[in-house]
Chain A
Amino acid sequence: MLVLVAVAELVAQLDVIASVPGRDDWSRAAQWIRTASAAEDREVRSPVDASPLSPRREERALVVVEPAWAAPLGRLALRRVELGDTAPADLAGRRALWALSIRGHAPAAMGGRRPTEMRRFGRVSVLRYAIDEPRESFDLVREIERAQVAWGGGSMGWGACALRHEPVRGGGLAAGTMLPADRFVCDRSRPWLAVGATFQQDVGLAVRRCVGQTAARGIHLRARFPEVPARGVLEGRFGLAHGDERLRGADVWLEVRVAGRLRARVRHRDGEGAKAFAVELGGDAARTFPSRGAPLGEGAASNVDVAIDTALARGEGRALDGAWRMPCWSASVRSRRGATRIETR
């Protein structure tokens, strides 16, 4: 009976309106997460922490909002979200995952697992998942401001890029990946030749915390981390902003050097999306210089020099043959491969 259809539609409409979580629900749920996760969080520092590059291990919980479209409301309620905890590429180094959830959504990364804890605050649920993720000993994105950045390569030699506080300009869709005010600037006459921790929305429209590092034609840009714990695996991803990737420009190279030796070379072609790379670090311990401390608990400590280079492929520009592009990479040293990927959309 059509009149019943109409009545049912009206009732359903009222139900939709009544089911909307109130701002107070969000606030109470966020407050509870803040309190509970702060109590759980612990930070373990290496015993000798004299060096600015000394590896630091942090095992912290990650808070996500489910579904992703509700994330702005979740962040508004949480009030304080560190940039490093906004859109990480994976769960490496995380001890627990908290989810502010509405409408029965659960984090896709948990693959249907049951939460270890669940509380309801009106229409907002708080889910907690204990996770067994690879331990993370060094996050290159977090440490980028302590890196040694240089440009040049080949017959040009290498010039140092200085960490500066430069004004950020522009914005909007066309601007793509924006570098922060605190960034490495290599050449005043080429302000685009720069490196800094930022976010990038990849071709799948997922946003990822990463290091924006120019890939220029005929110039190598290198971010070097002299003291990276030489145990485990260096794992990461790199790609271009979605708008940039649709332009079908020149291919971008990313090279990983460990103790001066080329260990990974990844070529990114537009349309491929973020590409993964991984380098086992264990065998490089012999080529390391003495460590200032024992970074990761048991066993003798040793660090290794890791460098990440970016460059633009020669003569392969297609529709847009510009002098430079802005790939963004993320990488960290973790105890093993296979951290659970998460996608922030």
Chain B
Amino acid sequence: MNGMRDHAIGALVAVAYTALLVVTAPELGPARDEGFYSVIGDRYARWVVRVFDEGAAALDGRVVDRVWADNSEHPPLPKLLFGLSASAVRASGVPMSAGTAHRLPTMIGAGLLLWIVYVLGARIANRRTGIFAAGALAAIPHVFHHAHLAAMDVLVVLACVATTYAYWRSLERARWAWVAGVVYGLALLTKHNAWFLPPVLLVHWATLRAAPVDERLPASRRIPWGIVAMLTLGPLMLIALWPWLWRDTLHRWMEYVRFHVEHVHYPIEYMGTTWFEPPFPAHYALGSMLTTVPSTLLVLAIVGIVHRRQQLVPPWLARLLRRRRDGEGEVPERRRVITTRLVHGADPRHTDLLILLSLLWPIVLLSTTRAPIFGGTKHFLAAYPFLALFAAVGFLRVARAFRGLWSAWRGPGPERFPDVRRRLIETCVALVLLAPAVAQTAHAHPYALAAYVPLVGGAPGGADLGMNRQYWGHTNADVLAVIRRELPRGGSVFPGDTALAAWRAMMLDGHVPRGVLPTPDLASADLVLVHHEPHFLTVDAQAWVAHGSAVPVAVIDHDGVPVVSVYARPGGRARSAGRR
């Protein structure tokens, strides 16, 4: 019954967050890759419909290859979902733009992610933990940003967190192993990041195996069935559900692997340097996290980790350490107390350790390898749900302290409605602790990638530090107003870093006025957009040369930090063209 109630609350959280994302989605212009994924997703979706209509003819090898060769460097599931979503919305007559319809699977996925985080929090501690963790995750500006996009990043986080949850449940109930296997298959069908998950879970399971017999899981669960299921069902599902791999499987599989092993690098600014290729700074992930995750949440997470330090060390390891130290001679009383504490409260599933490993692996991976960093925080977004869980533990600690303060202030004696008082205090504390994150996210949208925490001076502080402002040419919401103002009777626009596919998506949704067409020819365009990143100064300079002027007609900024400059061709159709 309690489980059902948890899921009901989780579902409520999911629906609310999805609704919020849907409402705020139109303010966020389509990002570069979204344009490609939407077009390809539509193609995949049409093929699925064709399979139902035509049967075997659609399954012909050449037909399958023709459809699924597109963007075969990434697994198909997210794109297929985007296409099916758009198709379903279109068929249903729901008044929703095609762009939002393509994004709907990610937004629903982000809602589901909060649901799982809530349930995980509720299961490992209590509902307050779950609620706070979900709220904290939802209010991280970069999470909120990526949760809108028709891209793979939030969906793969969802799949990885769901797999981790199922694996954790499988340590208690073997039937969850099947769930872990299936969900992991979906994770592999979402993005290649999922391949890194089994080693992490194996490390966790190894700590369980290393425990003395009396502390181990029951004998029937000593085999990590969850991981076994993941490693068998997962790849099988990948091949079975990715039509591109149906023929010439090994060769195409190797191509897929090679693409990611030899992935090209795109430039990204970090700490005053534009990084074009590895080796990247080892502190990239940590530095990006410190400057973009609201500081209160980070501090709470640290408090949470410190508070749970006893549970983070496996009991057998704590005992081993104590034995070693005892063997060295006289053990100071303080150290003895600490190591003794570590052994108490043993959790046979080492849940805290699992959460810590899940938090760390995306960061460690990015910090120690040549993995691409061009997408900024999206590359280690999988750490954030677990960061939020530790932040929730920190919140509980603060709330408890406040309850103590209240009791001390009130003095001894009976109290009416103690539960109501406790909940009221906790709610107030939670609201205060979440307020900075909510305020930053609300203020940053739709320029979340340019936003930095107040600790470093906000967006201007981030710019001073030489941090990235954007990378996908998606910051066109306010540009559209300039275009409407400048080109009331139509004209041409050089779209800068906005891919033509993304521009077309804006046109289809009616965001771009009729008669305004994108052109790859900067010099002949009536308006030129420059999305500011240091290496894009080249395009800035091209506009100066082509127009004979370095003065833009409009600059879109976030908190005074230029995000997009708009130049008008002298003699062109833009209203400001002749004014300079």
Contacts and interface: CB of A to CB of B under 8 A. Distances in A.
A318 B549 CA distance: 37
Interface in B389-444: 394, 398, 402, 429, 432-433, 435-436, 439-440, 443
Contacts of B538: 173, 176-177, 201, 207, 241-243
Contacts of A180: 545-546, 548
B334 interface: no
A198 interface: yes
A171 B523 contact: yes
Nearest to B273: A205
A10 B439 contact: yes
Nearest to B541: A199
A199 B537 CA distance: 10
A17 B559 contact: yes
Contacts of A17: 443, 458, 559
Given A168-B545, A207-B541, A16 B457 contact: yes
A9 B562 contact: no
A290 to B, nearest CB: 36
**Most interface-central of A20, A81, A177 (chain B CB within 10 A):** A20
A167 B523 contact: yes
B453 interface: yes
Number of chain B interface residues as a range? 35 or more
28 contacts: A2-B398, A3-B432, A5-B295, A6-B435, A7-B432, A9-B436, A16-B458, A19-B460, A21-B560, A69-B532, A70-B562, A71-B562, A72-B540, A76-B555, A81-B549, A83-B550, A170-B523, A171-B521, A171-B525, A171-B528, A171-B546, A172-B522, A178-B545, A178-B546, A201-B538, A205-B534, A205-B535, A243-B538
Contacts of A170: 520-523
Contacts of B532: 69, 72
A261 interface: no
A7 B429 CA distance: 11
Interface stretch (B210-218, B296-304, B322-330): B296-304
Nearest to B538: A201
A67 interface: yes
Interface in B482-541: 494, 520-525, 528, 532, 534-541
Interface in B104-158: none
Interface in A157-198: 167-173, 175-181, 198
A180 B570 CA distance: 14
B26 interface: no
B550 A81 contact: yes
Interface in A65-86: 67, 69-73, 75-76, 78-81, 83, 86
Contacts of B296: 2, 5-6, 9
Contacts of A21: 560
A309 B230 CA distance: 65
Contacts of B550: 75, 81, 83, 86
B506 to A, nearest CB: 18
Contacts of A198: 541, 545
A88 B521 CA distance: 27
Interface string B284-322: 000000000011100110010000000000000000000
Interface of A: 2-3, 5-7, 9-10, 12-13, 15-17, 19-21, 67, 69-73, 75-76, 78-81, 83, 86-87, 102-103, 167-173, 175-181, 198-201, 205, 207, 241-243, 246, 345
Nearest to B274: A205
Interface of B: 274, 276, 294-296, 299-300, 303, 394, 398, 402, 429, 432-433, 435-436, 439-440, 443, 453-455, 457-461, 463-464, 494, 520-525, 528, 532, 534-546, 548-555, 557, 559-562, 565, 580
A20 B580 CA distance: 26
A13 B439 contact: yes
A207 B540 CA distance: 10
A103 B464 contact: yes
Contacts of A70: 463, 560-562
A168 B546 contact: yes
Contacts of A241: 538
Given A13-B443, A16-B559, A20-B560, A3 B429 contact: yes
B551 A13 contact: no
Secondary structure dominating the interface of A: mixed
Given A5-B299, A178-B522, 4 more contacts: A2-B398, A167-B524, A173-B539, A242-B538
B433 A3 contact: yes
B436 A83 contact: no
Given A21-B560, A70-B562, A10 B435 contact: yes
B471 to A, nearest CB: 12
Which of A78, A86, A205, A242 is the most central at the interface, judged by chain B CB atoms within 10 Å of its CB?
A: A205
B438 to A, nearest CB: 10
A102 to B, nearest CB: 7
Contacts of A103: 460, 464
Contacts of B459: 16
A2 B461 CA distance: 23
B537 A201 contact: yes
A72 B554 CA distance: 9
Q: Which 5 A-B pairs have the closest CB atoms?
A: A171-B522, A16-B458, A12-B454, A199-B541, A168-B523
A217 to B, nearest CB: 24
Contacts of A243: 535, 538
B435 A73 contact: no
A13 to B, nearest CB: 5
A216 B559 CA distance: 46
A13 B440 contact: yes
A144 to B, nearest CB: 13
B277 to A, nearest CB: 8
A257 B141 CA distance: 58
Given A5-B299, A178-B545, A80 B580 contact: yes
B545 A76 contact: no
A99 B77 CA distance: 53
A177 B539 CA distance: 9
B52 to A, nearest CB: 42
A288 B562 CA distance: 50
Contacts of B457: 16
B464 A171 contact: no
Contacts of A168: 522-523, 545-546
A246 B274 CA distance: 13
A236 B230 CA distance: 63
Contact of A76 (B525, B535, B542, B552): B552
A76 B541 contact: no
A245 to B, nearest CB: 11
Given A171-B520, A172-B520, A199 B454 contact: no
Nearest to A71: B562
